A and B are shown apart, each in its own frame.
Chain A
């Protein structure tokens, strides 16, 4: 645009220089400029003021018209041609992707050996070794427990870290922080009010039943965890049971009453998960450097069938249950009101 420049301040060179000097952006400068012009209203004569006002109104009107034109254009496009185009493309893409996935799955299925034949690669010496020598090598009566926490402990290590990362990302997405003074923000109060509106108000049947059931459920969960090397179960199942029991309790008695207890706070969550994951990683992450080979821990295996046997399996079950229980329980208040 060929235009006579009479103000040096808005020239590109000046802007570049000032940007180099103190990094002020154009918007900042505009704001300062606006402040300066607003601060001196009295020194201007009335006619000048009127002219300025008129100019500003004119500019606003033009901006509004531009905006409306753009919006109309977009709206027209999205309702008429654009949406039809997108819909057709979406359907075509959906069908194509479905066909491609089905093709890939069918091809990979046809490459697989027949189900249940003796010479399949599944029936190799590894599973036979687990079944025959599992008891003597790991000391765990529950072969599954011995497998996932001893032979393939690095697998479970990754699994518990996945749980931890899932809990972390849910917290990142859903947690609402307090403001700078440590008071709850407006958003948080709104969420709480919304939550209270839907909460059952002292449902007697639910409360009595939960009083009856929750201790039994917690006890059963602890039993499943501590007997992980003796009977079916282990860290993950026990954590699921105890988490479900805690959620039932919270549902019956209200979130505020339960979340006042320190044991359910975010701080405890942090420390317990860290301790459990650190212990587990210290105990078993050597597998990644040894090519999943066994390293003798010099912990006596004990008599199979005793509660204190099977070496590291019992403490590792406990650390897994800490991670999984904390995750299951923290999800519920996070989903409900963005805090716990």
Chain B
């Protein structure tokens, strides 16, 4: 692939053009008119995925920032249109472009058509969201990042509010208000960066320029705080997580996948890219507090998940716990933690997406998401039950499935940072086993708790399309569980560069070997 062509811009443009084209497709009452946007959406998202994979294959793992493009955008304020791809961006780019076609396929007939609404809007907004999310992960300019960061909210708002269950409109407002508040806090930080950059001479928003900027301790901490709070709302972390469960409960499963597995990653991505990348000293200053917040999120999210009676809400709350792990890995500031958290972002995306989608299949069949009204699915729909179990086991970090590797690395990182932090984090593994297995037991096994006609109604098993949508996720979870090397190879150089920038001297630089050993030995003892 020649580096002369603006591949990354094309990568952003393909889904964007696809979104506009989908919105302009003919509408009507005829059945085939409804199929067309779905097909177009799937083709466009697969083309994007193909392009992303092609980029990944020609990506040089030790090459730093690649395929970079930089053009002046708003000269007066030093903003550029700058995109580039590095290890961190590549991982999230692949996750995003993989999940979009899966979501479209899983939502094939459940959104639009059945509820009398045309699928144009759903497919269009999903593609628009993909374009914005891809741009977020490629942005190499803080101003451009901020713009696309906020731009993801509009499609997300319409996806949550327009297609969910009753009460989705309220959830959409709660979601949007939380996110916009975070966005405005971030705006304060972005403006602060401009002021610092302008005071040093020529104002510029390029990350490469800002990284070399020498900011006084006071302002640096304030700007760091603005960035961190905004990303904590996005991620989300305790105590600004309350929008998460409401949104996942009310939105369609496909929307939840995009929100939790793609958009929320922007929060942790931003912590790595901006908090650690631009404000290393302030990051070290804030580490103790952030670690505590992360630990609270881990335990609190797991406890909330155990207590909830709504399956979709439960899945949302497990993510609170998982994001706690990711943030813990980022802020313990060592290679194990850093590598683990980036892998965690990928693996959490795979596992949680599978959970949301399979859970969505179940809820659609039974017409309720209340765990107390579910049950007895195992006999009539073994494939559905099996997939839910696999996804659940991945969520709780069973060795042999990909999440284990990342969770293990983060835990090692936490122990290296401070033993007490590791001890607190480990409790979450027990709690995870409770919320996953107990939920599985109540929803899948035993007789259906609802008496009468509903109890006799056999839950139909999954169709081929539904299995096909989830299958890639399961395959990847198993593959990366046994052989995480490709992902580690991409992530490691990035983490080493980052930690060198933060100024952390690390005792254990040979992470890949550790990780592989860890995975292998744990399997042996299992």
The judgment on whether A and B are partners is no
